[in-house]
Structure 1
């Protein structure tokens, strides 16, 4: 009988800092997210290191003493990967590697690695490869294992071209090639979007892992891949949906994240074009997540960046089935009631109340309140549809008479 080999997860330590721009609570939230990113990438975080600094150390990100502490722990526990919660410069990366003598990753590198593993289509793979090359270009110095100079010869006795310069040139050529390839695909996708005609376009936007793909599957009766991991889907999926008597196009887009690498925003521009060209946005929020308000702000920031913040938007608070809150005992006169103790009804009375009718509470997984969701989406799509197809007014009248 052949014994099955056990697949062990790669162990890693996580490293973050507390600064004047990022307090202890935020630092811990980011490390929680980094932990989830590590898990999604196939690793497991075994220890966290946090240091309080005015600003990141320009040489080693954290102080020399703290770095030695990290090194001691990693050597004692045979951990070979260190993951930093911010993007490291080429110099920081090189200096940290000299001290730790192990694999060093930063948040950007980790996200790019997940994107590379998740990319399914040629288009997504090209986008990720471009982002990786753009990230790699200024960091080539740490990857060097070749000869210092190219071979000389007759007429080639000058200083020559160092291997690092050769590789930089190769990477720049690769970036240029990938950009051309993406431009060609972008034009094809623009034609596809144009061929969809005047049909109303609705885009699902939101933080990663909030249930966009699950909702897409329920509403469009399709089979988009959905999983409880970050960036489960990267490829934009478009489905035709008919609610009552009105057809529209529903798009599932890539999830956003805090500290989203600029390289990814740049290379995924065409994917984000689906958001730019949408007539209506459904901003999906995981209300069960303790930091969902931060997630909303992050998504709104990216929407602002791609000039889509002023589009008609419905806030859809998903995962009400998983919503939990801490209760306070009636006899407890000491504990102050904070957002941690809010029930769903309490939340509805906060700033959410100002959203008036542009606010829904659902569970895509358990199909709770989906009729209310369909009704609201129908009403909003209908408003846009009527402006494009005014001659179809009799259809709405017929439908309303029947009901």
Structure 2
């Protein structure tokens, strides 16, 4: 990764083009392209090893071939006829250069973020050629990097043959346009790439609607017109249909028309998403009515949440070494060691600087987390900066109102970390569980912990159930927790815990306290 630092003259672009040392660095950058690849992939080498291994317990990966078939074909044209309509709707990324800014003393964080940005770009279908970091206190309000560094970036882009520049942050519309004018290629930001990945991976009707809503919210302030040719003239003769003096003018411009259409489409999508909400709420209400507790698997993207779900329930959810492989929530049933039934939900992963539009659009999906009884927080133990991942996930969990829910931290991919790393992670989360969805390590420990953390039925009762009422015994096992059973002359003596709403069904068979001993 090329690290560009400010110099006294870096804010002024020379009229004669880039300086000699800039050209030399550009050529060196082109010759060392392979080293840039190794930098971006160093954090994911272990993940590639894991992805190539047998997916034991993952079940049938029915979506894998479909997703592979939707990959972009390298080398196709990226020319767009009307940028206002499809520029941010479907990004056809090819060869890209990444840029980023970091303040004094945070270079390691900036490089980790840049590696993550490279993984996002590759997931979206791009080939990363190089990455450039600049150290400055604040982004330039005009060109993000400053005029001098923007000119250097233009030379690097030309030397490498890149056709897209991606900023590792969210650019203001004016910054993006100004930088495009300098580098002469397409410029997008981190938010646009994440939205593009979501648009590729969304599968359900609700997921597609949520992604489209987020894309339109992002696109709206970034529409750009193309001059007078985009205006719609009004007016006409006095005898015409409602025209005449005072009505001739510029009329509705193309950009105004686009804005109106986007607002109309957003309103329709919000109504569609709201119409899907009652079905989800009915399912959750049914689970609550039947006293079925729920567990949500949350965590950073590519931490292994779907792999954990597959290992526990053999759900067959798609597992892929890519960011945001899972967008649609998957709910499966499981049973504790003492026979209690609960649901296990796989949710969409989080990422640092997750676009606010996505948090809002996917709020209905994230309700699975807010309505759960236990959150299994899966962390990639092999990641170079797990602490920032944990903080990011907890921030998003707090945004959806789930901060007070019981949390179980699981460091996944334990087969890829050494003993020293385990000590560091143990200091980070002393009560966490080390697990590996690939080898099965720690899975039984996770299930035991879930059984201990799930809410226990509040009412303890002692019953003598007649032998011809086996249905009541089944009900106790299904919706309560049976502590002990004993067969006596009058029936089955059961000591169990149940919820208070089930108590009337067993009132006739309760044994008064101390009656059995007497």
TM interval, shorter chain, is 0.7 to 0.9
For the pair 1:17 / 2:108, whether they are aligned, the reply is: no
Deviations 1:86-123 (A, max 9, x none): 10111111111111221111000000000000001111
> Per the alignment, do residues 389 and 311 of structure 1 end up closer, same or farther by CA in structure 2, a change over 3 Å counting?
farther
Aligned partner of 2:429 among 352, 355, 376: 352
Partner secondary structure for residue 109 of structure 2: helix
Q: 1:265 to 1:387 in 2, by over 3 A?
A: same
Q: Which residue of 1 aligns with 2:282?
A: 191
Contact 2:74 2:94 in 1 (8 A): no
TM-score relative to the length of structure 2: 0.68
Kindly indicate whether residue 383 of structure 2 is the aligned counterpart of residue 289 of structure 1: yes
Q: CA deviation at 1:394?
A: 6.2
Match of 2:114 among 31, 53, 66: 31
1:387 aligns with 2:458: yes
**d(CA) in 2 for partners of 1:109, 1:149:** 28
Q: TM-score, normalised by structure 1?
A: 0.87
- Partner SS state of residue 147, structure 1: helix
Cross-structure match for 1:242: 335
The one of 98, 108, 117 aligned to 2:200: 117
Distance between the aligned counterparts of 2:282 and 2:460, measured in 1? 22
- Contact 2:201-2:327 within 8 A present in 1 as well: yes
CA-to-aligned-CA distance 1:323-345 (integer Å, 9 cap, x gap): 147xxxxxxxxxxxxxxxx3424
SS at match of 1:386: coil
Q: Give the drift of 1:26.
A: 1.2
Residue 370 of structure 2 is aligned to residue 276 of structure 1: yes
Judge conservation of contact 1:146–1:163 (CA < 8 Å) in 2.
no
Q: 1:226 to 1:389 in 2, by over 3 A?
A: farther
CA displacement, residues 369-397 of structure 1 (integer Å, 9 cap, x when unaligned) = 2222221212222xx14238978466233
Structure 2: distance between partners of 1:240 and 1:258: 31
Query: Residue 79 of structure 1 aligns with which residue?
Result: 162
Residue 322 of structure 1: aligned partner: 416
Select 1:212's aligned residue among 287, 305, 328.
305
Cα gap change, 1:239 to 1:109, in 2 (>3 Å) = same
Q: Of residues 222, 234, 245 in structure 1, which corresponds to 2:315?
A: 222
Deviation at 1:7, TM superposition (A): 4.1
Alignment gaps of 5+ in structure 1 = 326-341
Per-residue deviation at 1:171?
0.8
Please tell me whether the aligned partners of residues 288 and 324 of structure 1 are also in contact (alpha carbons under 8 angstroms): no
Matched, 1:254 2:348: yes
Counterpart position of 1:172 = 263
TM-superposition CA deviations, 1:293-350 (whole Å, max 9, x none): 110011111112222111111111111001147xxxxxxxxxxxxxxxx3424543x2
For 1:222 and 1:389, locate their aligned partners in 2 and report how far apart those are by CA, in whole Å.
34
- Shift in CA distance, 389/273, structure 1 to aligned 2, threshold 3 Å: farther
Pairing 1:264–2:358 present? yes
CA distance in 1, matches of 2:375, 2:330: 15
1:284 CA drift (Å): 0.6
**Distance change in 2, residues 1:295/1:390 (3 Å):** farther
Residues 1:137 and 2:220 aligned together: yes
Report how far residue 246 of structure 1 moved.
Answer: 1.3
**Aligned-residue CA RMSD (Å):** 2.3
Per mean C-alpha deviation after superposition, the further-off stretch among 387-396 and 274-283 is: 387-396
Is 2:248 aligned against 1:157? Answer: yes
Query: What is the Cα deviation at residue 134 of structure 1?
Result: 0.1
Return the offset for 1:195.
Answer: 2.2
Q: Secondary structure at the match of 1:113?
A: helix
Q: Which residue of 1 aligns with 2:484?
A: 397
Report SS of the residue matched to 1:364: coil
Deviation at 1:183, TM superposition (A): 0.7
CA displacement, residues 142-179 of structure 1 (integer Å, 9 cap, x when unaligned): 6x488331143421413311111111111111111111
2:436 to 359, 363, 383: 363
1:306 aligns with 2:400: yes
The 3 A distance-change label for structure 1 pair 398 and 141 is: farther
Q: CA deviation at 1:27?
A: 1.0
What number of residue pairs does the alignment pair up? 372
Q: Distance in 2 between matches of 1:209 and 1:365?
A: 14
